[in-house]
Amino acid sequence: MTSKSRLIRRGVVAVAAIGLLTGAAVPTLASNGDRTSSVRSAIKGGTARNVILLIGDGMGDSEITIARNYSKGAAGRLALDTLPLTGEYTTYALTKADPSKPDYVTDSAASGSGWSTGHKTYNGAISVTPDGKPQPTVLELAKKAGFRTGDVTTAELGDATPAVLSAHVADRSCEGPADMANCPLQDKVNGGPGSISEQQVQTGADVYLGGGKARFAQTIKAGPYKNKTVIDQAAAAGYNVVTDAPGLAAAKPGKRLLGLFADSNLPLEQTGPLAKVGGTEPARCTPNTAFTGPHLTDMAGKAISLLDAQSAHSRKGFFLQIEGASIDKQDHAANPCGQIGENVEFDKAVKASLDYARHHSDTLVVVTADHGHTSQIVPPTTDSPGQTATLITADGAQMKINYATTKPGVSQEHTGTEVRIAAQGPQAANVVGVTDQTDLFRTLTRALGVVH
């Protein structure tokens, strides 16, 4: 090896070492696009001090492409496109009547239960197996091991994806004490642990931020907090309860935080034409003038800063899940601008998480979805029997979006496709290839060093 070759090799090793120490992405030194060195340096084993799991609900590959095309252009890149290690995972659930058979199209409850507990279950179940047995969740295991924990969503906190981390019920509809018709065994009047909202307070994550204030305002029917609301229960458990953006901004470390920023789901970021049979005229999306904060990025940033501060003097860091929920909800509604706005805001939360990880290289960041959804990009000349809308993208070009998984006027359906999973940090290599949602549970618990 020549002296010049030795110097070049030392330079490559030095750059890789700097990247590993700082958490910065390692740039390739080749001018031909060869990423071998940077991908190799992104592979890290061991444990993580912090884990941030970001879920784009209903964010299949098509939804990502639609958001990218509209906001960045076809050649652009979203923050979620920049994670160095990427794979796909399968999303099927189990058939409730016969758990030996798959249900090829999952809902958010069965899906979330898969990565939260490592067990497949039926659609509608919240972190219980088909026999009704509660299974420990990654958040519960992390909390037991001494990690700080958080759960952030743009949906109701009792909605399926946030619920799977800290509650165990037979049916996802059992969000508040008045909603227990489908969960008699969990109802407190029958000696059970209570509704999803009650269980969330009892599980005691350090930070809960989202919507669902109306559920938490319901009256508890039995137990020590009988005739009080779940908000009263939370206050008695030491939670600082805030209900608006100023309250969130003012929250300080030292107390657990419950943020309830809407009676139901949080408002949408963007508005525009709904898809319809026969299509729409080409249009652009506009900001939602009726939006009341906080944005998902505000909640994500606050959760990260609080959990970081609260774990500053411990060798254990934090586990945090952040969900962009209404990508899914607006896909159901055949509302492309609503869907895109939520996906773009979710991507901002991804960027905030990656910015934190850049200065904390012992942080595992995982970005994925719970299932695919209906929206598809089709040629502008397509004569679809479904509902379509045409948007003018960042490229100045027309993009026609098709919704056709059910008849017009009915909520659009999930699809059974595999979906993207991408990661960086300790254990991130385990998302590469084609895995299953239950494998994510093992990746998360391995990174946290917790044993089930």
Which two structure tokens, joined as six digits, stand for 213? 């204030």
Q: How many folded domains does the chain comprise? A: 1
Q: What local confidence, expressed as pLDDT, does residue 133 receive? A: 98
pTM (2 d.p.): 0.93
Cβ proximity of 448 and 137 under 8 Å: no
Confidence of residue 451 (pLDDT cuts 50, 70, 90): confident
290: domain range? 50-448
Residue 8: which residues within 8 A CB-CB, separation 6 or more?
A: none
Give the pLDDT band of residue 10 (cuts 50, 70, 90). Answer: very low
Contact 261, 211 (CB under 8 A): yes
Whether the predicted pLDDT of 24 surpasses 50: no
pLDDT score of 33:
85
Check residue 93 and give its pLDDT: 98
pLDDT tens for 351-386 read 999 999 999 999 999 999 999 999 999 999 999 999
In a domain, 100, yes or no: yes
**DSSP letter for each residue of 300-338:** HHHHHHHHHHHTTTSS--EEEEEEETHHHHHHHTT-HHH
**25 pLDDT more than 80:** no
Q: Is residue 21 part of a domain?
A: no
* Residue 172 located in a structural domain: yes
Tokens of 63: 């939804």
Q: What is the pLDDT of residues 405-437, one digit of tens each?
A: 999 999 999 999 999 999 999 999 999 999 999
For residue 253, being part of any structural domain is answered with: yes
Q: Establish if 26 belongs to a structural domain.
A: no
Looking at residue 12, its pLDDT comes to 36
Q: Are strands 148-156 and 102-103 parallel, antiparallel or unpaired?
A: unpaired
Active site annotation includes 375: no
What does pLDDT average to over the chain? 93
CA atoms within 13 A on the CB side of 266: 33
* Closest of 163, 148, 253 to residue 216, by C-alpha: 163
DSSP secondary structure, 379-404, as one string: -TT---SSEEEEEE-TTS-EEEEEE-
- CA dist 148 and 310 (Å) reads 7
Does 135 map to a domain? yes
With beta carbons less than 8 A apart as the criterion, state whether 172 and 126 touch.
yes
Confidence of residue 6 (pLDDT cuts 50, 70, 90): very low
Residue 20 lies in a domain: no
190, pLDDT greater than 90 = yes
131-181 per-position pLDDT tens digit: 999 999 999 999 999 999 999 999 999 999 999 999 999 999 999 999 999
Among residues 38, 108, 111, 353, the one annotated as catalytic is: 108
Q: Is residue 34 part of a domain?
A: no
Does the structure show a pLDDT above 50 at 346?
yes
Q: Output the pLDDT for position 186.
A: 98
Give per-residue pLDDT as tens, 70-128.
999 999 999 999 999 999 999 999 999 999 999 999 999 999 999 999 999 999 999 99
Count CB-CB contacts under 10 A for residue 74: 12
The domain that holds 325 is classified in CATH as: 3.40.720.10
* Res 31: pLDDT: 58
Give Cβ neighbours of residue 94 (< 8 Å, ≥ 6 apart): 101, 102, 103, 110, 120, 121, 122, 130
Q: What is the reported pLDDT for 16?
A: 38
